[in-house]
Amino acid sequence: MLRRAIMTIDSRTSDGVTILDLHGKITIEVTAQVRNTIADLLEAGRRDILLNLGDVSFMDSSGIGELVRSYHSVGREGGQVKLLNLTKKIQELLAITKLLTIFDCYNDEAEAVASFSS
pLDDT over threshold 50, residue 66: yes
Query: Could you tell me which of 34, 96, 20 has the C-alpha nearest to residue 63?
Result: 34
Domains of the chain, CATH where assigned: 7-115 (3.30.750.24)
Taking only the tens place, the pLDDT of each residue in 67-89 is 999 999 999 999 999 999 999 99
Look up the pTM and report it.
Answer: 0.93
Which DSSP string do the residues of 51-115 spell out, in sequence order?
A: EEEEEEEEE-HHHHHHHHHHHHHHHHTT-EEEEES--HHHHHHHHHTTGGGTS-EES-HHHHHHH
pLDDT for the residue 5: 59
pLDDT for the residue 6: 81
pLDDT over threshold 70, residue 51: yes
Average model confidence (pLDDT) across the chain: 94
